[in-house]
Amino acid sequence: MSITAITADGRGSSVPDPEFRQILADVTAWVEGPGEAWAERIEADGVVPDALWDELVDRGFLALAAPRDLGGRGLSFVQWMGLMEVFSRSHASVRMIVHVVNGTWRAMNPFADDRQREQFVKPAVAGKLTVAFTLTEPGNGTGADITSTVRRDGDMYLLTGRKHLITFGVRCDYWLLFARLAGSIGKEGTVALLVDRETPGVVVEDTSQTMGVHGTDHATLRFEDAPVPVDQRLGEEGEGLAVALGGFLTPSRISVAMSCVGLAQRAQQLAVAYATRRVTFGKPLASRQAIAFQLAENEADIEAAKALTLTAARAWQDGEASAPALSSMAKLTAVDMLTRVTDKALQVHGGIGYWKSMPIERVYRDARAQRFEEGTNEIQKTVIARDLLRRAAALDLEP
């Protein structure tokens, strides 16, 4: 990884520790105060109102991770993970907004020219544009096998294909969309395009009715010869997957891992509070060894996942070759940890934890979504095994 690439990804910046601690205190106060009020409203109404987006923009929460030359706050990646840990204790849709907006610029910026940086990247960092990452398709995976195609017609690409499970795909201003040149195969034919939400030839289906993460919109998209200006292509033809995966996927997986840590901390907080105040047969639940041991196991589980996630974060921040595999290890470990912690936390509550009147019910429901975000556990294992076997082959290890 070159120094230029690291700078473009925002890995070369940080803020002084006193400034970071103040930001952390501000974020924590918001999550525990106004954030909880927003969570109740989202669960009641089923939508994230524009007023919440506006508040997040006004507080600067959507520009924390980007470097200062893009209009961001200039936090290092490890510092940003400290804030993601806190944001993830809030409502899942709040976490989703700050995670996506504070990360999408990483995919765009290294490949943007000066005009694109002014027109798209900086407004996205400022919260003036919402850009939806648009890779996943219904009939195949999310890599070199994408089937959405473009064909050149003068200064336009004509886009045809389908995308689904696109977060913010309904309310966005642009889709950061990945397709391939018609007739091409493999990654060499892929392109990355910024597609205007109002482009003709596009059908948007709102598919936001999910088990958890209420309020976040999701879309299925259909394109039929939809015209996209060639000058809205990021990078060169053949660099589409590099845009999608290079500067975005690795840090995003680490961020999701830290999201699991934060949500698990919230589940543990609720379980400890309930076990302390709930009295059965004259004793608080927390005094019973069976309950205390579950809480102890949760605490150890959370700290172990957090340590691995921070190791991956430092590796990516330093441009180490091990970062992609470590990001998958962190995500795999953290999501499995979250499953165990939320299950025990709900069990501590007993039957009452299953009721929507209890905060743990939402946490338990939202936790399940993390198993899919930025790749399933099976994908993470594939990445880890590929790296492990590649290193073994390089060393020519004998059995």
Catalytic choice (118, 374, 378, 398): 374
Note whether 227 and 157 are within 8 A (CB).
Answer: yes
Q: Looking at residue 130, what DSSP letter applies?
A: -
Residue 364: other Cβ atoms inside 10 A:
22
Contacts of 334 (CB under 8 A, 6+ apart): 256, 257, 258, 260, 261, 264, 305, 308, 309, 370
Angle in degrees, CA 373, 374, 377, rounded to 5 = 80
Rounded to the nearest 5 percent, the helix, strand and coil shares of the chain are: 55, 15, 30
Note whether 93 and 40 are within 8 A (CB).
Answer: no
Q: How far is it, in rounded angstroms, from Cα 385 to Cα 379? A: 10
Per the annotation, the verdict on 374 as an active-site residue is: yes
- How is 246-267 classified by DSSP, letter by letter? ITTHHHHHHHHHHHHHHHHHHH
Distances (CA, A) of 314 to 78, 79, 141, 319, 323: 6, 10, 29, 9, 8
The two three-digit tokens of residue 22, written as one number: 């103040």
Q: Looking at residue 303, what DSSP letter applies?
A: H
Note whether 125 and 71 are within 8 A (CB).
Answer: yes
Catalytically annotated residues = 374
